[in-house]
Chain A
Amino acid sequence: GDSVTQMEGPVTLSEEAFLTINCTYTATGYPSLFWYVQYPGEGLQLLLKATKADDKGSNKGFEATYRKETTSFHLEKGSVQVSDSAVYFCALKFYFGSGTKLNVKP
């Protein structure tokens, strides 16, 4: 069945460091892929999405490219900020990964 697997956390980085959070998927066809974020004390919200293979989703300096060759949708940001500290969830249609907690230290 459809599912996503994402890297376990927590991930701890210093401010301005490069971020990669890995996500791989198993699916029939090429469904939409999403990254959601949950900031401390807040609900889940969409960060970015890609609706077809080779699409790149981007928002708030984050990017992820839908790669069918490697069945991946890794989340990247070139320079993280303390305000990016949150839990990030990869999702395929409406199935969610287990989440990766990111801690950014000043």
Chain B
Amino acid sequence: DTGVSQDPRHKITKRGQNVTFRCDPISEHNRLYWYRQTLGQGPEFLTYFQNEAQLEKSRLLSDRFSAERPKGSFSTLEIQRTEQGDSAMYLCASSLPPIDLTSGNTIYFGEGSWLTVV
């Protein structure tokens, strides 16, 4: 299977603990995205990388959230001092770069990582 893979698929953590999610994109895709999705809502954009550069980060993203893609391949999303409101599915996705910055390209999603903060 050469799709986007995420790990772990499910995580239950106590409030105040730190959690980290890992994403492995499709190998030839140099763009990688992180989203958060709650029940009945669409994917909420968090951040994206082109290779190892983090090009955009949502203004709604708390300072407790940090993402890295050090070698331009896999990425990690860390949530520090988790709160109950962080409970959601965290989606990773990847794509080839668009033709130009005003365009876009088909995004391929992983299965997601469910986070439950108790």
Contact = CB atoms under 8 A, between A and B. Distances in A.
Interface of A: 27-34, 36, 43-46, 49, 51, 89, 91-99
Contacts of B105: 32
B104 interface: yes
Q: Helix, strand, loop or mixed for chain A's interface? A: loop
A32 B112 contact: no
Interface residues of B, number: 23
Interface of B: 33, 35, 40-45, 48, 91, 93, 95, 98, 102-107, 109-112
A93 B103 contact: yes
Q: Helix, strand, loop or mixed for chain B's interface? A: loop
Contact of A89 (B40, B42, B48): B42
Contact of A31 (B35, B41, B104, B107): B104
A51 B103 contact: yes
Contacts of B104: 31-34, 91-94
Contacts of B109: 43-45
Nearest to A92: B104
Contacts of A36: 107
Given A43-B111, A99-B41, A99-B42, A93 B98 contact: yes
